[in-house]
Amino acid sequence: SAAEKGGYDYFMLKEIAEQPKAVADTLLGRIDGSGSLTLDEVRIPPGVLREIDKVVIVACGTAFHAGMIAKYAIEHWTRLPCEVELASEFRYRDPILDAQTLVIAISQSGETMDTLMALRHAREQGSKVLAICNTNGSTIPRESDAVLYTHAGPEVAVASTKAFLTQLVACYLVALYLGQVRGTKWGDEIRAVIRDLSSIAGAVERVLGTMEPVRELARTLASKKTVLFLGRHVGYPVALEGALKLKELAYMHAEGFAAGELKHGPIALIEEDLPVVVVVPSPRGRSVLHDKIVSNIQEIRARGARTIVIAEEGDEAVVPYADHLVRIPATPTLLQPLVATVPLQVFACELATARGNEVDQPRNLAKSVTVE
């Protein structure tokens, strides 16, 4: 009913708008007054976490994209090797797992059969399993050694939005916690990131307040057949998520690429007026990546692409090559997906609406897939 949707036309719009609160709720009570993490729910003893020598993340769909981003954070902050794999592929290749492996299963519903089968396989090999889940008491957390709940609240729209942002927050918390427990040379950086996380809900709110031009742009693209998405580093999974949202909601052909791969194939797809969304890393931090992606934008624009550029406030280098410029607040490099994903959600939702699609219940999809 209209009341359940809180005055919004669709649950998806309501859930997009709820993201600042969802993010804040997922952080609530998990950072103490001294700026350290207190993840009491992670009932895997610190002694065991110190012995871990590898992390493996399993998930499906949007949760898999959260896992891809988590890999960058975990490897950077903990120096533990981290693999991320589609749950549906995982157990069938006979993965190497033992008691020193920490498996992280990410699932909004906690009922996805592919993810459940992957974690059962991991536990049979003696690995510890930590679930990141949004649904209290669901099967995946019940069968795991520990669970860190995301506090997004119920997510009704099939296409995941607020659950995704909270999965990212939970992944950062786990990465930082592992760093804290194990002690790394990034101690100062970890403390700084914990501080930055505390203000990130406000950054998400700011993005939401500037989305009208993105909606207008989406409406002008309603008759397009294809949209490409490019990103690098943590912007690469964001590009994949932007493409997935368009497939799910707008039923359009959409693909995400790692921008560095452009020259190895995808650039052949570029043609006159093809919309290409580019997620630009911060010019601060890893500035080499930033400069490379600016060259990519130049290259595709020279070949006729219509460039839709998502870049940090104050990034002036992109301005000459952006047909459409979407600004996001400056964040630390690894946290950028929390703000960069939001315009892509709004973009897909508006395109779906413009194409007359059912936003909350896309054809052929289910909110939770309980068959393998």
Q: What are the catalytic residues?
A: 367
Nearer Cβ to ligand G6P, position 255 or 323?
255
- Shortest distance, position 151 Cβ to ligand G6P, whole Å: 15
Nearer Cβ to ligand G6P, position 295 or 370?
370
Q: Which two tokens stand for residue 88?
A: 């549906």
Nearer Cβ to ligand G6P, position 315 or 360?
360
- Shortest distance, position 157 Cβ to ligand G6P, whole Å: 9
Would you give the DSSP letter of residue 92? Answer: G
Handedness of CA 107, 112, 118, 120 (dihedral sign): positive
Nearer Cβ to ligand G6P, position 146 or 269?
146
Q: Point out which residues bind ligand G6P (CB under 6 A).
A: 60-63, 107-109, 112, 115, 158-160, 365, 367-369
**Phi, psi for residue 128 in degrees, rounded to 5:** -85, 140
- Shortest distance, position 62 Cβ to ligand G6P, whole Å: 4
For residue 279, give the nearest of 324, 237, 245, 311 by alpha carbon.
Answer: 311
Q: Which two tokens stand for residue 356?
A: 């007359």
- Shortest distance, position 113 Cβ to ligand G6P, whole Å: 9
- What is the strand order of the sheet 306-312 is part of? 253-258, 226-231, 275-279, 306-312, 324-328
Q: Which residue has the tokens 């570029």?
A: 270
For residue 97, give the nearest of 56, 67, 145 by alpha carbon.
Answer: 56
- Shortest distance, position 238 Cβ to ligand G6P, whole Å: 15
CA 216 to mean position of chain CA atoms:
24
Q: Which residue has the tokens 């959260």?
A: 66
Nearer Cβ to ligand G6P, position 110 or 231?
110
Residue with the CB atom nearest ligand G6P in the bound state? 61
- Please give the Cα distance from 221 to 186 (Å, whole number): 44
